[in-house]
Structure formats: structure tokens, C-alpha cells
Amino acid sequence: MFNAAVLDHFKNPRNAGELAGATTVVEVENPVCGDILRLAVRVEDGRIAEARFQTRGCVTSIACSSLLTEMLVGKTIAEAGVAVTAEAIDERFGGLPPATRHGAELARDAVEALLAQAR
């Protein structure tokens, strides 16, 4: 059911854990399945210098959270709002099965929460 890229991010998550010195922390939840993503970023000189996540959820939600942090680093919050979409995450994984796409949506919800705090 899961391809190698999804399983790699699940088994070897990038940037998992808390982020000391975070400038923004958001938490989003999927009300249907109960998955929770806590995303912390540190912005320096207007760009996301570091991002970390803590996710309680399924394989796909954890994998998408891991990929999300990689996609955020180096971008401004505004650039992240345009570039980091559920579709972009889905593409980077080579297409998620429809039943697991909620992981990409949860990651996008976190980006939306970052945008909301930046306004």
C-alpha cells in the first residue's frame, strides 16, 4: 500500500521532535481520524531556517509531516503558503493512495496555520 518514499519518511523521519527557540508553533488536527500535527519553525532573516514536527497519527501523516519540514526550510512563510500544498506533497511521494491523502491535507493545514499566525 505504501511506496518506498513514504515508508522511508515514516521509518526515518526527518526533523522530528521539539524545536528550541521556535519563533512560531502551530498545532492542527484532523477531526475525522484524530491525527495531530504540531509544527514548530524558526524564522531568521525572513526565511524558515529550521522546522521540526511532532505527529501523533498514521504512517502517512508522519511521513507527510517529515516531508513538510524539508519543504519548508529556506522559504519565507509566504513562499511556503504557495509552494507547500497537499498536491505538492502528494507529487513528491509519487502519488498517495486516496485513503491516505489526509496526511498531506494535515500538513497543508499546518501551513495554513503558519500563514494565519504570520498575518
pLDDT band at 44 (very low <50, low <70, confident <90, very high): very high
Q: What is the 3-state secondary structure (H, E, C) of 82-96?
A: HHCCHHHHHHHCCCC
pLDDT at 105: 96
Among 4, 2, 28, 5, which Cα is nearest to 110's?
28
List, in order of start, the domains of the chain with CATH numbers: 4-118 (3.90.1010.10)
pLDDT at 45: 96
pLDDT > 80? residue 68? yes
Name every residue whose Cβ is closer than 8 Å to that of residue 40 and which is 6 or more positions away in sequence.
Answer: 18, 19, 22, 24, 25, 51, 52, 53
The span from the CA of 35 to the CA of 106, in Å, is 8
Q: Could you report the per-residue pLDDT of 17-29, keeping only the tens digit for each?
A: 999 999 999 999 9
Q: Over the chain, what is the mean pLDDT?
A: 96
pLDDT at 119: 75
**What percentage of the chain reaches a pLDDT higher than 90?**
94
Residue 78 phi, psi dihedral angles, 5° rounding: -65, -45
pLDDT band at 118 (very low <50, low <70, confident <90, very high): confident
The span from the CA of 34 to the CA of 27, in Å, is 12
